[in-house]
Structure 1
Amino acid sequence: MAHLQLADGVLNYQLQGPADAPVLVLSNSLGTDLGMWDAQVAVWCEHFRVLRYDTRGHGQSLVTEGPYSIAQLGADVLALLDALDIPKAHFVGLSMGGLIGQWLGINAGDRLLSLTLCNTAALIGSAQVWNDRIDAVLAGGQAAMLNLRDGSLARWFTPGFVEAEPAGAQRITQMLASTSPEGYAANCAAVRDADYREQVQQIQVPTLIVAGTHDVVTTPEHGRFLQAHIDGAQFVEFAAAHLSNVETGAPFTRRVLDFLQAC
Structure 2
Amino acid sequence: MHMADLGDVRLHYRIDGPDDGAPVVFANSLGTDMRLWDPILPLLPAGLRILRYDKRGHGLSTCPTGPYAMGALVSDVEKLMDLHGFRDAFFVGLSIGGLIAQGLAVKRLDLMRAMVLSNTGAKIGTKQIWDDRIAGVKAGGIEALGDATMERWFSKAFLETPDLELWRNMLVRQQDDGYAGCSAAISGSDFFATTATLRLPTLGIAGSEDGATPPDLVRETVDLIPGSKFHLIRRAGHLPCVERPEEYASVLSDFMRATGHI
Task: Give the alignment partner of residue 146 of structure 1, picking from 94, 118, 143.
Answer: 143
5 Å-filtered alignment, 1:190-229, equals 190-229=185-224
Q: Does structure 2 conserve the Cα–Cα contact (< 8 Å) formed by 1:18 and 1:45? A: no
Q: C-alpha deviations, 1:53-74, integer Å up to 9, x for none?
A: 0011100012001111111101
Tell me if 1:243 matches 2:235: no
TM-score in terms of structure 1 length: 0.94
Q: C-alpha deviations, 1:24-79, integer Å up to 9, x for none?
A: 10001000000000011123361411110001110001200111111110110110
Aligned partners of 1:227 and 1:84: how far apart in 2? 29
SS of equivalent residue, structure 1 residue 236: strand
Equivalent in the alignment of 1:68: 68
5 Å-filtered alignment, 1:31-70, equals 31-44=31-44, 46-70=46-70
Q: Which has the higher helix share?
A: 1
Q: Does structure 1 conserve the Cα–Cα contact (< 8 Å) formed by 2:222 and 2:228? A: yes
Q: Which one-letter code corresponds to 1:202 in the other structure?
A: T
Q: C-alpha deviations, 1:88-109, integer Å up to 9, x for none?
A: 3111010000000111122211
Equivalent in the alignment of 2:248: 252
How many Å apart are 1:18 and its aligned residue? 2.1
- Please, which runs of 5 or more residues in structure 1 have no aligned partner? none
Q: Does structure 1 conserve the Cα–Cα contact (< 8 Å) formed by 2:24 and 2:50? A: yes
SS of equivalent residue, structure 1 residue 114: strand
Tell me if 1:125 matches 2:122: no
Aligned partners of 2:146 and 2:46: how far apart in 1? 33
TM-score in terms of structure 2 length: 0.95
Equivalent in the alignment of 1:27: 27
Q: Which one-letter code corresponds to 1:146 in the other structure?
A: E
How many Å apart are 1:148 and its aligned residue? 1.8
Q: C-alpha deviations, 1:96-125, integer Å up to 9, x for none?
A: 000001111222112101100000011111
Structure 1 260/58 Cα, relative in aligned 2: closer, same or farther at 3 Å?
A: same
Q: Does structure 1 conserve the Cα–Cα contact (< 8 Å) formed by 2:23 and 2:87? A: no
Q: Does structure 2 conserve the Cα–Cα contact (< 8 Å) formed by 1:95 and 1:120? A: yes
Q: Percent identity over the alignment?
A: 38
Task: Give the alignment partner of residue 173 of structure 1, picking from 165, 168, 172.
Answer: 168
Which sits farther off after the overlay, 184-193 or 146-155?
A: 146-155
Task: Give the RMSD, CA atoms, in angstroms.
Answer: 1.2
Aligned partners of 1:201 and 1:156: how far apart in 2? 27
SS of equivalent residue, structure 2 residue 157: helix
Q: Does structure 2 conserve the Cα–Cα contact (< 8 Å) formed by 1:153 and 1:162? A: yes
Aligned partners of 1:106 and 1:175: how far apart in 2? 31
Structure 1 191/38 Cα, relative in aligned 2: closer, same or farther at 3 Å?
A: same
Aligned partners of 2:88 and 2:255: how far apart in 1? 17
How many Å apart are 1:201 and its aligned residue? 1.2
Aligned partners of 1:110 and 1:17: how far apart in 2? 22
SS of equivalent residue, structure 1 residue 39: coil
Q: Which one-letter code corresponds to 1:261 in the other structure?
A: R
How many Å apart are 1:150 and its aligned residue? 2.4
Tell me if 1:184 matches 2:179: yes
SS of equivalent residue, structure 1 residue 87: coil
How many Å apart are 1:9 and its aligned residue? 3.0
5 Å-filtered alignment, 1:61-100, equals 61-100=61-100
Equivalent in the alignment of 1:108: 108
SS of equivalent residue, structure 1 residue 120: coil
How many Å apart are 1:225 and its aligned residue? 0.8
Structure 1 227/85 Cα, relative in aligned 2: closer, same or farther at 3 Å?
A: closer
